[in-house]
Structure 1
Amino acid sequence: MPATLIERFKRQELSVFNSAMETLVAARTAELRKELALVVAQKQELELALQRKNQGQSQLETALSDAQLLHEISAMLIDENSIGELYQKLVEAATVIMRSEFGSMQRYDPTKGALQLIAQHGLDEEAVAYWQWVKPGRATTCGKALEVGERVIVSDFEACEFISGSEDLIAFRKAGVRAAQSTPLLTRNGRLVGMITTHWTSKQLPSARDLRLLDIIARQAADLIERNISAEALRNQAERLLEADRYKDEFLATLAHELRNPLAPIKNGLTLLRIGKPEQAPRVVDMMERQLGHMVRLVDDLLDVSRISSGKVNLKHERVMLKAVIDIAVEASHPLIQANEHNFKLAIPEADVWLYADATRIAQIVSNLLHNAAKYTPVGGHIELAAEVAGGDVLIHVVDTGIGIPAAMLPQIFKLFAQVDGSAERSRGGLGVGLALSKQLAEMHRGRIDVVSGGDKLGSTFTLVLPIAQAPGAAVMSAAAAAHTPSDERSLRILIVDDNVDAAETLGALMEEVGHSICVVVDSTKALAGALNFVPDVVILDLGMPYLDGFAVARQLRSEPGLGGVYIAALSGWGTDDDRRRTREAGIDHHMVKPVKLVEIVDMLSLVSAGNAAIASPR
């Protein structure tokens, strides 16, 4: 075969071989590329898995770190007994979690509507004093959070709209504070009890993780403050109960003492009247009447305090002259002042000063102040009552040279049953209700009572301040004068119904002495029959009787046609507005409180006698 042909054949075979080899290489390369792609994909999966593992491990490490931190904080709180130290440690824990340079905790005071700083970390004394109290809306994160009721974060004070240009910003710069966050401390029922704040010296925006951990601290802080508030409330309640129990014991002992004081001379007076000479009677009777008046005053004061406390006192305002009111008070206090040989001085304005007030109650206030001065001023001391007009008020000063009031006792002097000194109080008499009652009555007249004292043995000055009123016109004066014009009187037929035989017979004897015809019934079941036989003009009826009380007897009397117009006056130991309402509902015309004064009965009978019974309807 020729050489050329052989070479051509070889070239053909080589070309076929090369082509086959290229095809084989291409196929193999494709296979390798697939395998390589698979390897790359597996590598990427492994790298992603490794990355996820690392992230998970990092998260676990972070969670473990957070858990350890919280555990350390919890252990730290458990080991601490002082509430102040607990607050301090919570603030320090918050600064650790938030990686901040400063921190603070505040307690919300609902009475002031403001936050009070109770713990802090890193702040200097000037900053602590400056932010001791923060009100809603102040140019701080805590003030803003208090206003909006949620967490407030400011990453840069210099760029904050509600802080810019404020005095607080100047203080922040001085303290080195650039950013802060404030988180409200809420109880589990959503009540705000405080605020926890962290501060940074540079721009800062806390992470979600940091805030999540801070919320755990905030929950512990809120629970701690709430427990402390509850504990304080319980302690205060316990202290109030102990104080009330002490007051109760002192009051009962004083009441027993005060009631025995007048009972002893009254008993002695009765003995003297029984065995003594007739010429002793006027002196003994005056003494007994004075001691009885003292007992009545004690009971009236107690009832008045109870009525005022329950809101059952209704003042009877009218235009009255200051001089008339003071005259009544001085007259009531004169026996005690005279008995202690006090030098008494009275100075009131010459010009008429008018009050729009309950004259009886104002006289009671002034009389209480005079009695108080007389009790605590030694024999021969000085007491002065001076009144002056200042602007639209009248100032009534009661000045004494008595034992004085210690400075520590001044804030307590108007509290119910308060006593400057227990032994001194009992030696001078009184229940410790007079000043408390006077203060309440003064405030009901839109006035007040002030007190100053130099201290032990330096006397006291009580000042009653009351608003003055314009003088009434001539028409009012004429009407008032006409209302007090005496009228003719006539003898009345009076039926007295009272199961207390002594009370009924002595009252009957008094009525006979002033010229009236009397019939006494001491059995309530026979009251109606007695009235039908006697046909009285007036029935004086005790309310608290066995079998038939006074209300039932009154209804019986009103049901009889022949007795329908009889005037019925009730006698009762109860004198509240509700008691008087009950007497009106029973058809009773007049309500008198025991022990009733003779003048009150005489006045009532005078009105009936003159045909003016309507004027004497229930008061």
Structure 2
Amino acid sequence: MQDPLVHSAAAASGRSEAPRVPQVEDKTAELREALAIVEAQKRQLEIELEDARLLHGISSMMADEDSVDALYQKLVDAATLVMRSDFGSMQRYDRARGELELIAHHGLNEDAVRFWQWVYPGRATTCGKALETGKRVIVRDFENCDYIVGSDDLEAFRKAGVRAAQSTPLLTRNGNLVGMITTHWTHCHEPKERDLRLFDIIARQAADLIERNTTMQALQLQTQSLLEADRYKDEFLATLAHELRNPLAPIRTGLTLLKIGKPGQEARILPMMERQLGHMVRLIDDLLDVSRISRGVVALKPGRVSLGAIIDSAVETSRPLINAASHKFTVTVPGNEVWLEVDETRIAQVISNLLNNAAKYTPHGGQIALVAEVADDAISVRVIDNGIGIPASMLPRIFDLFTQVDKGSERSQTGLGVGLALARHLAEMHGGRIDVASDGDDAGSVFTLRLPASVLAVPEAPAGGEPARGQVAADPLRILIVDDNVDAAESLALLLNNLGHTTGIVLESPKAVATALEFRPDVMFLDIGMPYLNGFDLARDIRSNEALGGVYLAALSGWGTDEDRARSRAAGIDCHMTKPALADDVEKMLSGAGRQSPSRSAGMAPDQIVR
């Protein structure tokens, strides 16, 4: 019989051993699960370490590179490596064209590079689609892509061996598009998330590099532009000083000779001084015209005029320069009179500038021809010379401001280099243009002014001639001159006295109203830029005085813009003339200025100067 104690112990032992098996299995499962997590984390850490080493290697590869183009290439190589692709490309976004320009590639052949040098939005490529949508585009198989199938791009992809691609826009940190980076595969492929994550890091570097390089290039261009502008300024000031001294020298010499007073010299000296003064006036007028046109303050004054009259005016202006160089000059115009609706003065100025240019750049005794024609209802005026010609490198710049052919050489000519620039602007304001042709050095040149058919006008008989100038006035006037420049005031008074008028001078504008009440003038010449009281304010004071209400006011000033003329009208000034005014212009103005003032029998003595 079994011992009950032993049986009890065995039973107890059996009960305690039975649950121990599942507990071990559970524990084992937990350990295996923990081990799997550790293994997965280990693999993830190894992948991240591998990625970190890869990125570190890429950064090290680019760290010592100074060339921007080489950096672009290394970034494309790195993108190809990260994406495990067969080809890669990087493009820069050209904002002006709205297209992508290829700047670096990996593995593409020359035909592919030429074919995809520029890509427009919506083109049958992943980069064209990404440019259109602004988002990353992935195509795993070109043969099954709706917008690529049937396109010329698909044929090019087949020739290049490309079957799949992804394109990622390169955006700045402000969200502006600066380029595109693309990777290509020879087989159907869709990139993994890990590859795209690393690729985006490279794309970030590429975007930063393009933005930085674009900014640097813009700064370099701006610096170069400023340096060039500074050089142009120095050259212009030196040229201006030279050109102004040229006429000033004979004028000063002429004044010295007049002071000596040797009989019989005036006949030679005075015309010479007049020519040189006219040259100075033309220089200054050209500069002012260029400035006004660049600021958009020049307004054309079109009118009906014959083409022949315009050419006659231009030739008359340029004839002294042509004759001085003994050029053989011919003019050919249409047999029938041609009428235009243009600004006569400005078009004559254009043709004159072309003639002056030909005269200056044609050696002594050369040949110049002016040929005017009407064809297909358009007008062309050609100025042909056998002068020094224009090098091919200069043709694109010949109309730039302050540009001269052979500047600084022994063939350099006088002038500021504004005549052709001014002529081009004036022609364009009429809807026309100026073309230039030359076969190079010593081959002469041809400048052609072309005006559109829209300027043609219905023929009309020319107006009657104007009365002769320079004679003693039939109806003398009392004229008061208000100008703080003594020489300007006295010379104008001398001219008016010689024409038979009675004059008075006021050198301090605050005294002008009191003097006018005493002098009782018919006409008052007012300088504008005077101290204490400018011409506009003085005109208002005169107009507010009932006793001077009928006085004709004429501004005579160095300020002559359209804005200045408008301010004159607003101040009550009847006529605005710019210095130096021609005698004919002064006479013409005075002939139309009615005698509106009260009796002139009393008042201050004529020719008295009030300081």
TM-score (norm 2): 0.91
What letter corresponds to residue 42 of structure 2 in structure 1? Q
Equivalent residue, structure 2, for 1:229 = 214
Shift of 1:280: 2.5
* Residue pair 2:389, 2:444 contacting (<8 A) in 1 also: yes
Partners of 2:455 and 2:575 in 1: CA distance: 33
How far residue 191 of structure 1 moved from its aligned partner, in angstroms, is: 0.9
Are residue 270 (structure 1) and residue 255 (structure 2) matched? yes
Distance 1:114 1:470, change over 3 A: closer
**Other structure's SS at 1:204 match:** coil
> Aligned equivalents of 1:420 and 1:152: distance in 2?
54
CA contact (8 A) 1:583 1:591 kept: yes
CA gap 1:571/1:139 in 2 versus in 1, 3 angstroms = same
Gaps (5+ residues) in structure 1? 1-9, 14-19, 612-619
Secondary structure of 1:543's partner?
coil
| Residue 501 (structure 1) shift | 2.6
Is the CA contact 1:499–1:523 (under 8 Å) kept in the aligned structure 2? yes
Q: How many Å separate the matches in 2 of 1:74 and 1:351?
A: 79
**Equivalent residue, structure 2, for 1:615:** none
Is 2:129 aligned against 1:113?
no
- Mapping 1:148-547, distance limit 5 Å: 148-424=133-409, 427-469=412-454, 472-473=457-458, 477=460, 481=463, 490-547=475-532
Structure of greater Rg:
1
TM-superposed CA distance for 1:494, in Å, is 1.6
Counterpart in 2 of 1:79?
64
Task: Give the superposition deviation at 1:535.
Answer: 1.5
State the distance in 1 between where 2:403 and 2:468 align: 45
- TM-superposed CA distance for 1:291, in Å, is 0.7
Q: What displacement does 1:412 show?
A: 1.5
SS at structure 1 position matched to 2:403? coil
Whether the 8 Å contact between 1:419 and 1:425 is mirrored in structure 2 is no
Q: Is the 8 A contact 1:541 1:571 kept in 2?
A: yes
Q: SS at the partner of 1:346?
A: strand
Distance 1:340 1:195 in 2: 62
Amino acid at match of 2:22: A
- Choose between structure 1 and 2: higher helix proportion: 1
Structure 1 residues 24, 162: CA separation in 2 closer, same or farther (over 3 Å shift)?
farther
Per the TM alignment, residue 512 of structure 1 is displaced from its structure 2 partner at its CA by 2.6
Larger displacement relative to structure 2 (412-421 or 113-122): 412-421
Tell me, yes or no, if the aligned pair for 1:356 and 1:468 is still in contact at 8 Å: no
CA 1:204 to 1:392, structure 2 compared with 1: closer, same or farther past 3 Å?
A: farther
Secondary structure (helix, strand or coil) at the match of 1:428 reads: coil
Structure 1 partner of 2:601: none
Distance 2:467 2:321 in 1: 33
Letter in 2 for 1:601: V
Q: 1:489, 1:606 within 8 Å by CA — same for their partners in 2?
A: no
C-alpha distance in structure 1 between counterparts of 2:515 and 2:202, whole Å: 84
CA contact (8 A) 2:404 2:412 kept: no
Paired residue secondary structure (2:91): strand
Which of 37, 49, 55 is the aligned partner of 2:40? 55
Question: 1:35 and 2:35 equivalent?
Answer: no
Deviation of 1:421 (Å):
2.5
Unmatched 5+ residue regions in structure 2?
A: 597-611
Aligned to 1:16: none
Is the alpha carbon distance of 1:65 and 1:195 closer, same or farther for their aligned partners in structure 2, counting shifts above 3 Å? same
When structure 1 is superposed on structure 2, of 512-521 and 246-255 the one drifting more is 512-521
3-state SS of the aligned residue for 1:431?
A: coil
Q: CA deviation at 1:587?
A: 1.7
Q: What CA distance in whole angstroms lies between the structure 1 residues aligned with 2:219 and 2:365?
A: 49
Alpha-carbon separation, structure 1, partners of 2:45 and 2:396: 62
Counterparts of 1:191 and 1:52 in 2: how far apart (Å)? 42
Q: Larger deviation: 298-307 or 513-522?
A: 513-522
The alignment status of 1:144 with 2:126, answered yes or no, reads: no
User: Post-superposition shift, 1:506?
Assistant: 2.2
**Structure 2 CA distance, aligned partners of 1:521 and 1:119?**
76
In the TM superposition, residue 519 of structure 1 has moved relative to its aligned partner by 2.4
1:472 is displaced (CA, Å) by 4.4
Structure 2 CA distance for aligned equivalents of residues 315 and 130 of structure 1: 49
Say if 2:125 is the partner of 1:125.
Answer: no
Per the TM alignment, residue 249 of structure 1 is displaced from its structure 2 partner at its CA by 1.0
What is the CA deviation profile of residues 332-376 of structure 1, one whole-angstrom value per residue up to 9, with x for unaligned ones?
111100101111111122223333322211111111111111111
What amino acid sits opposite 1:310 in the alignment? R
CA distance in 1, matches of 2:546, 2:240: 48
Pair 1:390–1:148, CA change in 2 (3 A): farther
Within 5 Å, give how 1:599-618 maps onto structure 2: 599-609=584-594
1:160 and 1:31, CA in 2 relative to 1: closer, same or farther beyond 3 A? farther
Q: Per-residue CA shift, 1:521-546, capped at 9, x if unaligned?
A: 33323322221122211111122233
Is contact 1:355-1:467 (8 Å) kept? no
Bigger drift between 486-495 and 44-53 goes to 486-495
Q: Give 1:553 deviation, angstroms.
A: 2.4
Distance 2:423 2:25 in 1: 98
Q: Structure 2 CA distance, aligned partners of 1:425 and 1:352?
A: 43
Query: Contact 1:490–1:609 (CA<8 Å) still a contact in 2?
Result: no
Offset of residue 47 of structure 1: 1.8
Q: Is the 8 A contact 2:552 2:594 kept in 1?
A: no
- Is contact 2:522–2:595 with CA below 8 Å preserved after alignment? no
Cα deviation digits, residues 428-479 of structure 1 (max 9, x gap): 21111111222222222222111111111111111111113465457xx47x
Q: How does 1:577-596 map to 2 (within 5 A)?
A: 577-596=562-581
1:5 aligned residue = none
CA contact (8 A) 2:477 2:595 kept: no
Deviation at 1:179, TM superposition (A): 0.2
Cα distance in 1 between the residues matched to 2:564 and 2:330: 41
- Tell me how far apart the structure 2 counterparts of residues 47 and 560 of structure 1 sit (CA, whole Å): 113
Q: Which amino acid aligns with 1:318?
A: G
Q: Which residue of 1 aligns with 2:605?
A: none
Residues 157-211 of structure 1, C-alpha deviations (whole Å, 9 max, x = no match): 0000010100000000000000000001111111111100000000000111111
- 1-side partners of 2:15 and 2:119: how far apart? 78
> Structure 1 residues 149-158 or 443-452, which shifts more?
443-452
Q: Show the counterpart of 1:6.
A: none
Matched residue, 1:562: 547
Between the aligned residues of both structures, percent identity stands at: 62
How far apart, CA to CA, are the structure 2 residues paired with 1:323 and 1:218?
68
Task: Determine whether 1:44 maps to 2:29.
Answer: yes
8 Å CA contact 2:388–2:441 kept in 1: the answer is yes
How far the C-alpha of 1:150 sits from its partner, in A, is 0.9
Q: Quick one: structure 1 residues 311 and 263, their matched pair in 2 at CA, closer, same or farther if it must change by over 3 Å?
A: same
Question: 548-557 vs 194-203, which deviates more?
Answer: 548-557
CA offsets, 1:75-124, max 9 Å, x none? Answer: 11111111111000000000001000000000111111111110000001
RMSD: 2.6
SS of 2:395's equivalent in the other structure is helix
Deviation by residue 1:234-253 (Cα, 9 ceiling, x = unmatched): 11111111111111111111
Deviation at 1:424, TM superposition (A): 4.1
For the Cα contact (< 8 Å) 1:254–1:426, is it kept in 2? no
